[in-house]
Amino acid sequence: MSNNSGDLILTERDGAVATVILNRAEKLNALNREMWAGLGGAFRALDGDEDIRCVILRGAGETAMGPGADIAEFSDVRANPEQAAEYGGLMHAAMHAIRDCRHPTVAQIHGLCVGGALELALACDIRICGEGSRFGIPVNRLGLVMAYPEIEALVGLVGRSSALEILYEGRVFDAAEARDKGLVNRVVADERVAGEARAAARRIADGAPLVNRWHKKFVDRILAGGELSAEEEAEGFACFDTDDFKEGVRAFLAKDKPDFKGE
């Protein structure tokens, strides 16, 4: 286990799977300035680690992924537009570090997941939650707006109308509604969330890591729109020149488990 930002952001390793933990359980993992900075640093470090094949993001304990930003520090660090812009830069850098991490990412959601915590989950590739989880973005109750980078992720998942419903009403809603809206991929019994997230991460890690990274890149490129270049089209066939492709075919024909090396 390695610590970032003191003990507020933890990174654990289990083979090729890393877990990043929001470690402020006594505050339900409310995000303060130090945690935003530490999150960005943790995911940028993992992005450069060739041995990682999947990253899980979770909150400490099983009560909450998080209630969002720590409002108690607003008077010191978000008291005016200039301070808010600087704070927002840390937030958006953390979200982008999660979104742009080349490894697949899984949000393991226990309990409450609202505001900034939901924004972090939205930056992950896959979201798994418990039946008792609750979601929402009640920022209009504070006179706050979501900035463009945060709204982009929300609209990308649920579309314009559902995004505005979530923001206009500021309701906190249950896991079934979150699944119906497309906010989460999978809802399981609360006691199964950790096991299901680990199982998903293990299935991902057992696959060819180069292929997973290519698929993530290709999906994001398609969503960006525009015509593909000849080089981009050609990259769709680069896998045939990898050792992992040869290993995959060998294992399939031999009815064996492949041993992918990421080469």
Q: Is 136 helix (H, G, I), strand (E, B) or coil?
A: strand
CA distances 90 to 35, 98, 156, 204, Å, are 9, 13, 21, 29
Q: Mean pLDDT, to the nearest integer, of 229-251? A: 96
Q: Tell me, yes or no, whether 26 and 146 share the same domain.
A: yes
Q: Is 65 helix (H, G, I), strand (E, B) or coil?
A: strand
Instruction: Report the DSSP beta bridge partners of residue 173.
Output: 135
Q: What percent of the chain has pLDDT over 90?
A: 92
Q: Mean pLDDT, to the nearest integer, of 129-156? A: 94
Domain-ending residue, one of 205, 223, 245: 205
Q: Tell me, yes or no, whether 36 and 109 share the same domain.
A: yes
| 261, part of any domain | no
Among 106, 114, 28, 111, which residue's Cα sits nearest to residue 72? 28
The confidence band for 151, taking pLDDT boundaries of 50, 70 and 90, is very high
The confidence band for 3, taking pLDDT boundaries of 50, 70 and 90, is low
Q: Mean pLDDT, to the nearest integer, of 210-218? A: 96
Domain interval for residue 47: 2-205
| 172, part of any domain | yes
CA distances 202 to 15, 53, 101, 206, 233, Å, are 10, 9, 18, 6, 30
Sign of the Cα torsion 124, 127, 132, 137 reads: positive
CA distance 248 to 192: 31
Phi, psi angle pair for 59, to nearest 5° = -95, 155
Q: Tell me, yes or no, whether 105 and 232 share the same domain.
A: no
pTM for the whole thing?
A: 0.94
Q: Mean pLDDT, to the nearest integer, of 93-106? A: 97
| 138, part of any domain | yes
Q: Tell me, yes or no, whether 26 and 102 share the same domain.
A: yes
Q: Tell me, yes or no, whether 226 and 99 share the same domain.
A: no
| 262, part of any domain | no
Q: Is 131 left (phi over 0), alpha (psi -120 to 50) or beta?
A: alpha
| 260, part of any domain | no
Q: Is 141 helix (H, G, I), strand (E, B) or coil?
A: helix
Give me the chain's average pLDDT, please. Answer: 95
Q: Tell me, yes or no, whether 58 and 156 share the same domain.
A: yes
Does residue 2 surpass a pLDDT of 70? Answer: no
Q: How many domains does the chain have?
A: 2
Report pLDDT digits (tens) over 19-70.
999 999 999 999 999 999 999 999 999 999 999 999 999 999 999 999 998 9
Q: Tell me, yes or no, whether 217 and 111 share the same domain.
A: no
